[in-house]
Amino acid sequence: MSNTDYTLAVEDLTVSFDGFKAIDALTLYVDKNELRVIIGPNGAGKTTLLDLICGRTKAAAGSIKFRNQELTRMAEFRRVRLGIGRKFQTPSIYENLSVFQNLEVSFPKGRSVLGALAFTCTNEVRARVEVVAEEIHLEGKLDTEAGLLSHGQKQWLEIGMLLMQEPELLLLDEPIAGMSARERELTAELLTRICRNRAVIVIEHDMDFVKRIAHKVTVMHQGRILAEGPMEQVQADERVIDVYLGH
Ligand SMILES: Nc1ncnc2c1ncn2[C@@H]1O[C@H](COP(=O)(O)OP(=O)(O)OP(=O)(O)O)[C@@H](O)[C@H]1O
């Protein structure tokens, strides 16, 4: 496969903070419909990598291509429009609005060719909200105020708000932090389902969860890639056990 066929191609990416290389000549390819999990010790550069991909942090050198389009100098909002969705650790939902309204306001405006026809547009939005609500296990909660949802449901709602924009690449930072066992189980199902139409990159520390969802695992250490491959292979890697799994 040539590097132009990947959803995401990161090559020789580097960024420094006060002379410290948080990401150091990193190269990574993510396929269409792939669910990639990034693991590694604290400070390895995992969050910084997602920040660089979504445009929150600017690269010092190297290339980030999304569907073969160079991103490194592109503003964050333009990357969102191109189809990159990012979820941070703390959910940022509108607590006073209902689940339906939270999803509705996330529908990308002006993208529909029927945008001028308010009635048709409303139907289109409603239909999309219903599809997404089912995907995130909240179809029975459309009228519930978001502030009343459980912690896990709030996380799903935020994923749903990103799905409203039909992103082709979804970046999730520790999506199951603070969730109950049942919510983790449902989140694993949810992620497995949503990566059928897009690439998903997840940062995660819970190894049982990683085992359950990852197509491939990338292990980061000191801003570089220490190992990459299927979970069984990565888990058996002495270097990975040394710097991360053995601790
Ligand atoms: N904006 C910044 N300014 C200065 N240093 C930063 C900045 N962002 C990250 N760093 C540093 O870069 C390194 C990588 O941090 P990063 O948060 O990406 O690691 P991580 O692998 O996500 O860790 P964790 O698992 O703890 O979230 C750390 O040493 C961190 O202190």
Residue-wise pLDDT tens digits, 81-132? 999 999 987 778 999 999 999 999 998 875 555 554 555 558 889 999 999 9
48 C-beta closer than 6 A to ligand 1? yes
> Are 178 and 66 in a shared domain?
yes
Interface ipTM:
0.94
Predicted local distance difference test score (pLDDT) of residue 124: 86
Query: Of 101, 133, 166, which marks where a domain is finished?
Result: 166
Strands 169-173 and 84-87: parallel
187 C-beta closer than 6 A to ligand 1? no
Query: Of 114, 147, 166, which marks where a domain is finished?
Result: 166
Number of domains into which the chain is organized? 2
How far apart CA 38 and CA 10 sit, in angstroms, is 14
> Are 223 and 239 in a shared domain?
yes
> Are 158 and 176 in a shared domain?
no
> Are 186 and 77 in a shared domain?
yes
Three-state SS for 85?
strand
- Tell me the pLDDT of the chain averaged across its residues: 91
Total-model pTM? 0.92
* Range(s) of the domain holding residue 144: 92-166
24 C-beta closer than 6 A to ligand 1? no
The length of the chain in residues reads 247
Sheet holding 20-30, edge to edge: 20-30, 8-17, 61-66, 69-70
Q: In testing the pocket of ligand 1, which one of 18, 24, 46 has its CB within 8 Å of the most ligand atoms?
A: 46
